[in-house]
Structure 1
Amino acid sequence: MTGSSSPSDVLVEERGDVRWIRLNRPERRNAFDPAMSAAITAAVEESADRRAVVITGSGGSFCAGGALQNLSMPTVGEMRGLYQNSLRMFDAIRSCPRPVIAAVNGAAAGGGNELVVACDLAIAARSATFGQTGPKVGSSPVTGATNVMGVQIGEKRAKELAMLCRRYPAEEAERMGLVNAVVDDDQLESTVEAWCAELARLSPRYLEITKVSSNIWWNSARDSFSTGLGMLVQAVGSPDMVEGATAFLDKRRPEFPPPE
């Protein structure tokens, strides 16, 4: 799970006064390891002089969450690093003084779906899909999906996503309130650019005040994030974690042990 992230893992492009951050590990559906999430965090934190920030993916995927390659043989240190860096990334998005838009160009799964939850606005390509993976792969989505997502789409629907690990098409995600708009795939970037242009006509000072004020629910859930991550660390190496990750990598249905 450890390892260094090369600069090409996260591509940063300045389009006028908007910073585009592109996750660039398409061979693993843009899943992030600690180094990659740290690079995303740095790119967001250095965006205060922009009008807006856009996060998107490459290779037809948005983000598959945390990289699972080594979860069948996890160490506490590796997993703590992954969890903590993921939370820092989400916090950076929330504390960024500029609006952060998710341009969802493909599958947003697991932590990738929580990345959408963390962003201020979200526009999805029609081919995009959404969903959590936690209990299916031996984990739990404690940094957004078990708490803040309930505020966004309602508690019952949020629990449905977090517990049943289903996949939802973009149109249904829009109906739930998980994204703001759905457009044809070839219109995604131009639509996001139009939204950014609209934001650029507004007061950055008062947009920042509006964003900071809107973080009330995120801030209220912050203790829940830390508690959840603490429990996940204590479960590192458990039979459920190992079986979930191994089954995912083997592309088979997991066979979890019965409840104790």
Structure 2
Amino acid sequence: MSTPATTTSVVIESIDSSLWIRLNRPERRNAFDPDMCSTIVEALHDANRYRSIVITGSGGSFCAGGSLGQLSEPTVTDLRHLYRSSLALFDAIRSCPRPVVAAVNGAAAGGGNELVVACDLAVAARSATFGQTGPRVGSSPVTGATNVMGVQIGEKRAKELSMLCRRYPAERAYEMGLVNEVVDDEILEDHVRSLCREFELLSPRYLEITKVNSNLWWNSARDSFSNGLGMLVQAIGSDDMIEGARAFLEKRAPQFPPAE
């Protein structure tokens, strides 16, 4: 049985009966790029020997979504690759036969929040924050937040997150139903390990059946993911995309052109 690939940007390790996947680009708040997505997808495809999977971050951040550095000078090829890699990552989480738990140890923003949506369960540190960033940075959260998140927390709440781009503390995320539990920061990983030990007492065969059957809403929304990504590709290089990305990188408020 092959060993999952490990790179400096993604640290993969076995802990008890679980596979832990740690995003390791703290200098950019663990924003993922296509190479990181590919490494995680490979690990998930080789995860049958484990009883559960945990995805977490390093350096006090969970995940800031897709890396925005290239959006200020976008190319269709690069961004299409990033979009498709993001969707492949989320699909791999959903198709993995083992439960995937998000251990949210810091900010889950943009695609990082959608990563939480894709996971089967989520446990948040008390200092964690959640929120979408799309319209603020010249993008749109079409791979989970505009569709599946509505099933998880309700349509009105999902639109609030997707459209207003506010940031929510962990306790509020718990109240909305975005995460299962909130625990003190210093016990997050120990608590998640305890949760994973519960999976050891359960049938992997019937957990897989339960998970596959629970993907009804994800599968129903799958076409909307592809359609949304197609629209994002058509908008590459737009004034809104470039201004949103530059404002994000320059840490200032965006000045979008007037609506047409």
Q: Secondary structure at the match of 2:69?
A: coil
Q: Distance in 2 between matches of 1:230 and 1:175?
A: 33
Q: CA RMSD in A?
A: 1.0
Q: Distance in 2 between matches of 1:6 and 1:195?
A: 24
TM-score by length of 2: 0.97
Q: Distance in 2 between matches of 1:45 and 1:90?
A: 12
Q: Deviations over 1:145-190 (max 9, x none)?
A: 0000000000000000000000000000000000000000011001
1:70 deviates by 1.5
Q: Secondary structure at the match of 2:143?
A: coil
Instruction: Please name the residue that 1:9 is paired with.
Output: 9
Q: Distance in 2 between matches of 1:45 and 1:191?
A: 25
Instruction: Please name the residue that 1:214 is paired with.
Output: 214
Residue 33 of structure 2 aligns with an amino acid whose one-letter code is D
Q: Distance in 2 between matches of 1:257 and 1:41?
A: 38
1:8 deviates by 0.7
1:16 deviates by 1.8
Residue 22 of structure 2 aligns with an amino acid whose one-letter code is R
Instruction: Please name the residue that 1:105 is paired with.
Output: 105
- Structure 1 stretch displaced more, 239-248 or 44-53: 44-53
Structure 1 segments of 4 or more deviating over 3 A?
A: none
Instruction: Please name the residue that 2:165 is paired with.
Output: 165
Is 1:256 paired with 2:256?
A: yes
Residue 45 of structure 1 aligns with an amino acid whose one-letter code is H
Identity of aligned residues (%): 73
Q: Secondary structure at the match of 2:8?
A: helix
Is 1:29 paired with 2:34?
A: no
Q: Secondary structure at the match of 2:127?
A: coil
Instruction: Please name the residue that 1:131 is paired with.
Output: 131
Q: Distance in 2 between matches of 1:63 and 1:44?
A: 18
Q: Secondary structure at the match of 1:205?
A: helix
1:6 deviates by 8.1
Taking a change above 3 Å as real, the CA distance of residues 199 and 19 of structure 1, as seen in their structure-2 partners, is same
Is 1:19 paired with 2:16?
A: no
Q: Secondary structure at the match of 1:178?
A: coil
1:214 deviates by 0.1
TM-score by length of 1: 0.97
Q: Distance in 1 between matches of 2:16 and 2:114?
A: 28
CA contact (8 A) 2:6 2:12 kept: no
1:41 deviates by 1.1
Q: Deviations over 1:104-154 (max 9, x none)?
A: 000000000000000000000000000000000000000000000000000
Instruction: Please name the residue that 1:60 is paired with.
Output: 60
Q: Deviations over 1:200-245 (max 9, x none)?
A: 1000000000000000000000000000000000000000000000
Residue 98 of structure 1 aligns with an amino acid whose one-letter code is R
Matches within 5 A, 1:63-102: 63-102=63-102
Instruction: Please name the residue that 1:154 is paired with.
Output: 154
Instruction: Please name the residue that 1:226 is paired with.
Output: 226
Q: Distance in 2 between matches of 1:231 and 1:48?
A: 35
Q: Distance in 1 between matches of 2:104 and 2:71?
A: 26
Q: Secondary structure at the match of 1:8?
A: coil
Q: Deviations over 1:39-98 (max 9, x none)?
A: 111111111110000000000000000001111110000000000000000000000000
CA contact (8 A) 2:239 2:257 kept: yes
Q: Distance in 2 between matches of 1:6 and 1:140?
A: 30
Gaps of 5+ in 1: none
Instruction: Please name the residue that 1:44 is paired with.
Output: 44
Q: Secondary structure at the match of 2:71?
A: coil
Q: Distance in 2 between matches of 1:249 and 1:46?
A: 36
Residue 197 of structure 2 aligns with an amino acid whose one-letter code is A
Q: Distance in 1 between matches of 2:110 and 2:131?
A: 6
Instruction: Please name the residue that 2:120 is paired with.
Output: 120
